[in-house]
Chains A and B, each alone.
Chain A
């Protein structure tokens, strides 16, 4: 079985500061990794995904994430955040099977302050 851990339930940060949202996963088989963002009163939007190849993945809105197989981590980073980045961020994994269902972490609320 797979599981995803997001240790930080909330991360407060000042505008234009860098941020890292942590994600660790557990799986006995190879998985694919995703970060989704949820803005208030909206659905989940894909930020980026890692399938294979380069371990550094770039996504939308200036976000990037690095896959670290030895540490089973997929941390999300942004060098300079904006007020508009305030949202809930979800890390998720999927294994190659017939349905590609997503298994989510508990989410991290990023709160950007002016």
Chain B
């Protein structure tokens, strides 16, 4: 069964460093998402991406964040200068594109900013 994969599973970085979180969505899917979950809090929407552009973003998704689909298979989330409060589990999801198709989630990347 096709699945969404994410790498790395755990990333530790120093405050102020740039990190790139990688996702490989399901191959025929057209819509892509990033969510995050700070420990003990809700899963929060960050950004959605379709047709090589951002279709919606939340207030959390400020200028420090960017997304890219560089090669037609990977979908990346970049944080330019990490802050302590960026420590969270980051989930990637993808959707085929039919009317309200199911969003399929990856296992997540745990980001720890020291």
Q: Least Cβ distance of B8 to chain A in Å?
A: 14
Q: Is the interface of A mostly helix, strand, loop or mixed?
A: loop
Q: Which B residues are in CB contact (< 8 Å) with A49?
A: 100, 102
> Are A101 and B108 in contact (CB-based, < 8 A)?
no
A104 touches B107 (CB 8 A): no
Which residue of the partner chain, among B4, B45, B50, contacts A102 with CB atoms under 8 Å? B45
Residue interface mask B66-104, A partner, CB < 8 A = 1: 000000000000000000000000010101000010111
In the complex, chain A residues whose CB is within 8 Å of the CB of B56: 97-99, 101
In B8-26, the 8 Å CB interface with A consists of none
**Closest beta carbon of chain B to A60's beta carbon, Å:** 12
Distance, CA A102 to CA B91, complexed state (A): 12
For B, the interface residue count at a CB cutoff of 8 angstroms equals 24
User: Can you report 20 residue pairs joining A to B where beta carbons are below 8 Å apart?
Assistant: A42-B107, A43-B91, A43-B107, A44-B105, A46-B103, A92-B43, A98-B56, A99-B31, A99-B33, A99-B56, A100-B31, A100-B48, A100-B103, A101-B56, A102-B43, A104-B35, A105-B42, A106-B41, A107-B42, A107-B43
Measuring CB to CB, which residues of chain B are less than 8 angstroms from any residue of chain A?
4, 31, 33, 35, 41-45, 48, 50, 55-56, 91, 93, 95, 100, 102-108
